[in-house]
Structure 1
Amino acid sequence: MPDLAPQLRRLFGFDAFRPGQEAVVRAAVEGRDTLALMPTGSGKSLTYQLAAMLRPEPTLVLSPLIALMKDQVDKLPPEIAATATFVNSSLEPGEAAARIDGVASGRTRLLYAAPERLRSGAFVEMLRRIGVGLVVIDEVHCVSMWGHDFRPDYLFIRRALAEFGEPAVLGMTATATPATAREIAAALGRELEVVRTSVVRTNLRYDVAEVSGNEDRLRVLVERIGRLEGGSTIVYARSRDSCERIARTLRGHGLRLEHYHAGLEAAERTRVQDDFLAGRIQGVVATTAFGMGIDKPDVRLVCLVNYPDSLESYVQQVGRAGRDGRPSDTLLLASPSDATAVRRFAVSDIPGPDDLRRVYRALRERGGIAEPETLATAIGGDHDPRVLVGMLEQAGIVRRGYDSGRAMRVELLPAGDGAGATLDALLERYAREAEARVERIVAFAESRRCRHRQVAEHFGETLEAPCGACDVCDPPSASRARPPATPLPSDVATAIVRAVESLAWPVGRRSLVAMLRGSVTAPRSARGSLSFGILARASEAEVKRWIGALETAGALLEIETKDGYRVLKAIPGVPLPVIGPKASSPADDATVERLREWRRERSRADGVPAYVVLSDATLREIAAARPASRAELAGVKGFGPAKLERYGDAVLGLVAASS
């Protein structure tokens, strides 16, 4: 084959290939089945785009990123863009057919489609008649049931390849271990020539910071993002709610980050993404889908607020930093409680035999034809019915064919004597692999071994430590430590009321709690108060309880401003209850026993267990605090507004009688 450099220069304007690119292009042009294992930002897309221009037949690119296909085509170099198009569910049927005609006439050489499109018999038949020479499978690791991102429609690619007449295959992924590479080859039924470039990104620094809770996470984020000089930031969080809360806190500290998740309106998501790409905001706080297919070269920090579900996911997410090759930071915030949570999520996400039985039964009742949404309603639960059908197919119990419109068509196969055992073994392995993925990412964070070396070894490489670019080999300089909390004031009630009186701008309950505890989530105006952090030694629950007691006493009143905000106002001259840790003395055993006797009678009268009335801990705290008013009783842990209304007078009478 002639020198590829002139074509690279003419079409893309580059003088030289990046590592691995030329080998992949040559293999694709020559029609050799190839698996390209190249990290995020290494220029995978260029390889098949260039190969498509040098091959005689059209190239089909299968990509799961339906929403980004137009963006990918629009960003192609002009000469390639003129011969490229996409078909996906956003197009009218007539427009999709016209684009396929463009491929048939030879005007289009590069066609993007989602793997789901192969479930359309008409689409596959049209491409069979046209003659596809190369099939590019982006994110090809999704074909592995045992990987971190299994997508059942990838299982159909092998059948489509046969219908196309077995064209050459180019699989592309940034996250495949040697074992996953073998599973990909087996799933596609091909002997794949592997082109592997190093997963080690020498321009990225890998830091893991241990945090003790949400307050600590936010404090670290504010500090790290606040000292960045230029470039953009991506913060990944697990839930939509946490994305919004984190972004709100960061903006409260003058950091221009927006939240992004699937719950936003499409126009709002587009606006945030456009502002991010144009550099009009400093960054985004997003769920994990953000960033796929987005080529922003100057991301200088990627932070994971929670553990990802695997080391592969970690590498994929942090790999969105430093795509221009310049030094960039990555940060994983880890805590023991989060490790417990991610282990729990991994187990809860594993289907069980009952889930598979329900989807099989639902298919049988519908003659093997059903829309995924209908199946999801019929079987209940949180599992995608397409994944469950894919698992049944892997066990040899069903065979899914071409779809009928939006409905899946599934053939129910005769179940032999060993079907149950096969299914049990499949589920057991599925669970084992999911748990192993979680343990690997937790071990990565907790280990004191070189971070880059751990990643390299996981993907089948070797790396000599120290790398000089992680917190293990090159510990970061100690950040500014949080000052020690001051002792609690002797009169907590007076301190809270005076704090409210001194505010230039009134705040609501949540903001008042944050201000008194010295939280990073407190509004900017409240952070300037002399009362900021005066109750830092108390827990959030304690401060909430004390504020509630002051409201019950009438010393604090919630009012609504002209703008519709609900804020707290101090009412002068109201007698203040005795609240706070120093309000309690050792519990009187005789009073505790009287309270227990009352609780027994009340539980029998209400027909509920005794602990539902009041817990032992609450009884002991009442006996120690000896509240003399409803306001003081409201300050007792475990005595909320409902219980105050129901039991308040009776409990106060018992305490008074015990004095």
Structure 2
Amino acid sequence: MASEEVLKLFKIEKLKEEQSAILKCILEGRDCMAVLPTGFGKSLPYQMAVVQQKMKSEDAKKIVVCCPLTALMKDQVDKLSVIPNVRAIYRDGSKETDCMIREGAFDYLFGAPELLVGDSSFREQLHKFSVSTIVMDEFHTIASWGEKDEEDRQAFRRWFSYLGELRSIFPEASLLALSATCTRKISKRVKKVLNFRDNTLEIHMSPDKPNIKVVTKKIANSVDQGMAWMVDALDSIPKTVIYCNSIKDVSKLYAYLTSEVPKSVNYCEMFHSETPKAKKEKILDDMCCEEGLLKIIIATSALGMGIDVPKTNNVIL
């Protein structure tokens, strides 16, 4: 489905079968739910869609992409910004971006559920735009973050469970839902929330990868005892992301590592929801550069899903 000109712009020779099927759905206005492995290139079809449409007509419609995390939005916007004649934005708080959104000066608009459905004044702005496709990136978060947990505690981010309302804002738009980590049980729940049409194309592929090894290890329930092995390896360890459950745990681990190996402050950083925006961007830019100085990122889930970080050898939970 992708023309040779579009493939050249994205510097690829050809699309995989599943990518072609997703792009075909977008261009035909058909709903699609795709569960494909991390690193497969799930975002590529919707990134190509507007470019493909613009080559036929300058009146190409817009695409709204719902993302759970700012880091993920920035990653996608950065990738699209190098494609000629494509305008991709997310609401970053600047007056310039807010003006572009009001004027509809974009091809791709990225936003979190709290903005797209939770902000009533912003919803009024959305009504003015001609949108061909709504993309739900990391759609499994609708169930895992938008619903009450098994102990009936409040949802982590309740507006995720209201994303089906986007269909009422853009009733003619097709829907594309993407995930790498979604069970069929969650898929069924999400289909109801998002009001998928009867002719939805579903693509499911196993997340298993032969080049990835999963290791579990029981460790002592204290930072100094449980992570002593890492101190010994710190100087020679390749690029590593360490995920913690809370900001408190991130801080404790960072303090421990940098006190045991003082020079690690030069290549170790923290990333969580309270990290200043400018510092977040600096960390992400460094991570995504193969020659970056950072080797260890200690983070909460604020450092999100779907970010393309080259040469990351280890992910520790």
Normalising by the residue count of structure 2, what TM-score does the alignment of the two structures yield?
Answer: 0.80
Q: How many residues align?
A: 294
Q: Deviations over 1:472-513 (max 9, x none)?
A: xxxxxxxxxxxxxxxxxxxxxxxxxxxxxxxxxxxxxxxxxx
User: In the alignment, what sits opposite 1:258?
Assistant: 269
User: In the alignment, what sits opposite 1:236?
Assistant: 243
> Are the aligned partners of 1:36 and 1:194 in contact in 2 as well (CA < 8 Å)?
yes
User: In the alignment, what sits opposite 1:312?
Assistant: none
Mapping of residues 150-169 of structure 1, within 5 Å: 151-169=157-175
From the superposition, tell whether residues 298 and 44 of structure 1 become closer, same or farther in structure 2 (CA, over 3 Å).
Answer: same
CA apart distance, 1:170: 0.3
Distance 1:128 1:168 in 2: 16
From the superposition, tell whether residues 77 and 247 of structure 1 become closer, same or farther in structure 2 (CA, over 3 Å).
Answer: same
User: In the alignment, what sits opposite 1:197?
Assistant: 205
Q: Secondary structure at the match of 2:80?
A: coil
Distance 1:153 1:194 in 2: 25
From the superposition, tell whether residues 208 and 5 of structure 1 become closer, same or farther in structure 2 (CA, over 3 Å).
Answer: farther
Distance 1:130 1:259 in 2: 39
Structure 2 portions without partners, runs of 5+: 54-59
Q: Deviations over 1:407-451 (max 9, x none)?
A: xxxxxxxxxxxxxxxxxxxxxxxxxxxxxxxxxxxxxxxxxxxxx
Q: Secondary structure at the match of 2:227?
A: helix
User: In the alignment, what sits opposite 2:131?
Assistant: 132
User: In the alignment, what sits opposite 1:581?
Assistant: none
User: In the alignment, what sits opposite 2:315?
Assistant: 302
One-letter amino acid matched to 1:130: F
Distance 1:147 1:200 in 2: 27
Distance 2:102 2:88 in 1: 9
CA apart distance, 1:7: 4.2
> Are the aligned partners of 2:30 and 2:174 in contact in 1 as well (CA < 8 Å)?
yes
Q: Secondary structure at the match of 1:169?
A: strand
From the superposition, tell whether residues 277 and 134 of structure 1 become closer, same or farther in structure 2 (CA, over 3 Å).
Answer: closer
> Are the aligned partners of 1:141 and 1:147 in contact in 2 as well (CA < 8 Å)?
no
2:79 paired residue among 62, 75, 88: 75
Distance 2:163 2:215 in 1: 39
Distance 1:188 1:46 in 2: 22
> Are the aligned partners of 1:8 and 1:15 in contact in 2 as well (CA < 8 Å)?
no
User: In the alignment, what sits opposite 2:101?
Assistant: 99
One-letter amino acid matched to 1:212: A
> Are the aligned partners of 2:34 and 2:179 in contact in 1 as well (CA < 8 Å)?
yes
One-letter amino acid matched to 1:234: V
2:8 paired residue among 7, 10, 24: 10
User: In the alignment, what sits opposite 1:245?
Assistant: 252
From the superposition, tell whether residues 122 and 210 of structure 1 become closer, same or farther in structure 2 (CA, over 3 Å).
Answer: closer
Q: Secondary structure at the match of 2:213?
A: strand
Q: Secondary structure at the match of 2:93?
A: coil
Question: Which one scores higher on RCO, CA 8 angstroms, separation ≥ 6?
Answer: 2
User: In the alignment, what sits opposite 1:25?
Assistant: 23
User: In the alignment, what sits opposite 2:62?
Assistant: 58
One-letter amino acid matched to 1:44: K
From the superposition, tell whether residues 13 and 274 of structure 1 become closer, same or farther in structure 2 (CA, over 3 Å).
Answer: closer
1:85 aligns with 2:88: yes
CA apart distance, 1:290: 1.8
Structure 1 portions without partners, runs of 5+: 305-659
Q: Secondary structure at the match of 1:206?
A: coil
Q: Which is higher, the Rg of structure 1 or of structure 2?
A: 1
From the superposition, tell whether residues 122 and 77 of structure 1 become closer, same or farther in structure 2 (CA, over 3 Å).
Answer: closer
1:218 aligns with 2:224: no
> Are the aligned partners of 1:276 and 1:283 in contact in 2 as well (CA < 8 Å)?
no
From the superposition, tell whether residues 224 and 209 of structure 1 become closer, same or farther in structure 2 (CA, over 3 Å).
Answer: farther
Distance 1:265 1:161 in 2: 34
> Are the aligned partners of 2:239 and 2:312 in contact in 1 as well (CA < 8 Å)?
yes
Q: Secondary structure at the match of 1:203?
A: coil
One-letter amino acid matched to 2:231: V
User: In the alignment, what sits opposite 1:638?
Assistant: none
Mapping of residues 36-47 of structure 1, within 5 Å: 36-47=34-45
CA apart distance, 1:161: 1.1
Q: Supply the RMSD in Å over aligned alpha carbons.
A: 2.9
Q: Secondary structure at the match of 1:299?
A: coil
From the superposition, tell whether residues 269 and 63 of structure 1 become closer, same or farther in structure 2 (CA, over 3 Å).
Answer: closer
CA apart distance, 1:121: 4.6
Distance 1:128 1:30 in 2: 22
CA apart distance, 1:14: 0.6
User: In the alignment, what sits opposite 1:430?
Assistant: none
From the superposition, tell whether residues 18 and 259 of structure 1 become closer, same or farther in structure 2 (CA, over 3 Å).
Answer: same
Distance 1:129 1:238 in 2: 40
> Are the aligned partners of 1:8 and 1:14 in contact in 2 as well (CA < 8 Å)?
no
Mapping of residues 430-509 of structure 1, within 5 Å: none
From the superposition, tell whether residues 297 and 19 of structure 1 become closer, same or farther in structure 2 (CA, over 3 Å).
Answer: farther
Q: Secondary structure at the match of 2:131?
A: coil
